[in-house]
Amino acid sequence: MKKIILKESEYIMKSATIVKAKQLTEFEKYFEIALDGDQSLDHMPGQFVMVSIPGVGDAPISVSSSPTKRRTFELVVRNTGKLTGALHKMGEGDTLGIRGPYGTGFPIKKLEGNDLLFVAGGLGIVPLRSLINFVIDNRRDFGNVHILLGCKTPKDMLFGDEVERWSERLDVEFNCTVDKSYPDWKGNVGLITSLIPGVNLDPDRTFAIVVGPPIMYKFVIKELLAKDIPDSHIYLSLERHMKCGVGKCGHCQIGEHYCCQDGPVFSYKKIKSNIEAL
């Protein structure tokens, strides 16, 4: 058996450094990351990277920042597996490996000029934030913007300051709900689906972008269809197990689709008849 070093391989990783790290909640940690050598990630909102820690492994993580933010990018990671557990022990100045960006992100060109309804449940706000901030940074290119945000309790809300700035903008409609309230909570209480009927929208020029836990999708989609939003105007980002990120390892397959390449963002029209999707 002979062995050679490859100059070209999908498994080459870019060395990167954590420039800022912050514990957001008990389980979620924020990382601002810079690729070494001043490279930019050049991702599209909705894409993901494979984050790699040699000796531990690698895992797909959604990019949370908008590409309008240059030089660094942001990830928010829930401590739930081997890689994310190791990542949670890391902080400013630590190095890790990045592959990607990978996948098909949100369809920016299709969204331009149209009204947008963002629906984020739980950790769904993490990938959706890349698009929300992109839209806010290019606000003139989009019509009405409505953000619906749901989480378990006020304590679980991520990006509190940023969310507050969104809610204060005059060119953004914002509603938030929690499943379980606290005494000083002034917002809505209930599931995120309860916010949809009250949204005033023009179904023909509205695109709904929905990101949340798997269980959330069918209930949210039902409400969106009840608002007459066509299924080609509903976009979802799906989560799957991945090992390679480049359409080979088979773990992320959803029927005939590879989540890592054909997704993670899919139109509802594309996957509604796929029994493995939702």
Q: For helices 160-168 and 125-137, give the axis angle rounded to 10 degrees.
A: 40
Tokens of 166: 């969104």
Minimum distance, C-beta of residue 30 to another protein, in the bound complex (Å) = 18
Nearer to another protein, 36 or 141 (CB): 36
Question: 3-class SS at 99?
Answer: strand
Spatial contact of 89 and 53, defined as CB atoms under 8 Å apart: no
Cβ nearer to another protein, comparing 150 with 247 = 247
- Report the C-alpha dihedral over residues 22, 164, 149, 128, rounded to 10 degrees: -60
Nearest distance, CB of residue 198 and another protein, angstroms: 30
Round to whole Å and give the CA distance between 31 and 72. 10
Which of 37, 198 has the CB closer to another protein? 37
Return the number of the residue (190 or 213) whose C-beta is nearest another protein. Answer: 213
The nearer residue to another protein, 99 or 146, going by C-beta atoms, is: 99
Cβ-Cβ contacts under 8 Å for 195 (sequence gap 6 or more):
148, 150, 175, 177, 188
* Interface contacts to another protein, rule CB under 8 A: 1-6, 8-13, 15, 54-59, 78, 80-81, 84, 95, 97, 213-214, 239-241, 243-244, 246-251, 253-256, 275-276
CA-nearest of 193, 200, 204, 262 to 228 is 204
Q: Smallest distance, Å, CB 7 to another protein?
A: 8
